[in-house]
Amino acid sequence: MKDIARQGMSIKVESMDLLNSQIKMEAHASATYLAMASWCDQNGFFTSAKFFRKQSEEEREHMMKIFDFLIDAGGSPFSPEVTGINHDYASIVDVFESTLDHEIAVTKSIHNIVMKAREVGDIATERFLDWFVMEQVEEENTIRDILDMISVTGTEGVGLQVIDDHVGNWMD
C-alpha cells in the first residue's frame, strides 16, 4: 500500500495490519466450523451440525465487521486466502475441545490487537474491539458449558444422542 494512502487513514498502520490478520483468522474459523458441521452431520449429530453451521455464519459476520471497520477508517481490508481446514475429528468431544482451543486462540489474538492499539494510541481501534472482547467471553463460556454438559452426561450408551439434543439449548 502506498505511504500517501496510509497517511489518509484514521487508524494506525500497525492496527490495520493486525486487523487484516484477524480477518483471516475469522475466515479460518468460519471455514473450520463449516467442516465441523459436515463432520457432525455425517456422524448423526444433527443438532450439533446446525450449531456449527450457525457458528460458521457468525464467524463470517465477525470477519465482515472488521472488513467494514477498515473500509470506514480509510484502510485496505484484504480478502483472505483460507487453507488447511481440518475435516477429521476423533469424536464429538474432540470437535468441541478443538472449538474451545480455537476460541481461546482468537481471544488471545484480539487481546493482542487491543494492547497494540493502546500502545500506538489508536483509540478508534481499541473502542471498536470492545465488542469482540465481550463476544469472546460469551463464546468461550458457551463452549465450556457444552463441554461441562458432555462430561456430566457421559458418552456411554444413549449419552451421545443426549449430548447432541442438549446442544440445542445453546442455540438462540
Least distance from ligand FEO to the Cβ atom of residue 151, Å: 22
Check whether 135 is labelled as a binding-site residue. no
Check whether 111 is labelled as a binding-site residue. no
DSSP, collapsed to helix, strand or coil, labels residue 6 as helix
Check the CA dihedral 7-13-17-23 and report its sign: negative
Least distance from ligand FEO to the Cβ atom of residue 62, Å: 4
Please name the amino acid found at residue 171.
M
> How far is residue 92's CA from residue 53's CA, in Å, rounded to a whole number?
15
Check whether 161 is labelled as a binding-site residue. no
> How far is residue 124's CA from residue 9's CA, in Å, rounded to a whole number?
11
Least distance from ligand FEO to the Cβ atom of residue 79, Å: 17
Q: Which lies closer to ligand FEO via its Cβ, residue 6 or residue 54? A: 54
> How far is residue 72's CA from residue 8's CA, in Å, rounded to a whole number?
12
Check whether 126 is labelled as a binding-site residue. no
Least distance from ligand FEO to the Cβ atom of residue 75, Å: 19
Q: Which lies closer to ligand FEO via its Cβ, residue 136 or residue 160? A: 136
Nearest Cα neighbor of 32 from 99, 100, 125 is 99
- Which stretches within the chain are classed as H helix? 3-7, 13-42, 46-72, 92-119, 123-128, 130-153, 159-167
Q: Which residues bind ligand FEO (CB under 6 A)?
A: 26, 29, 59, 62, 103, 106, 139
Q: Which lies closer to ligand FEO via its Cβ, residue 47 or residue 107? A: 107
Q: Which lies closer to ligand FEO via its Cβ, residue 15 or residue 22? A: 22
Which residues make up each annotated binding site for Fe cation? Answer: 26, 59, 62, 103, 136
Binding residues: 26, 59, 62, 103, 136
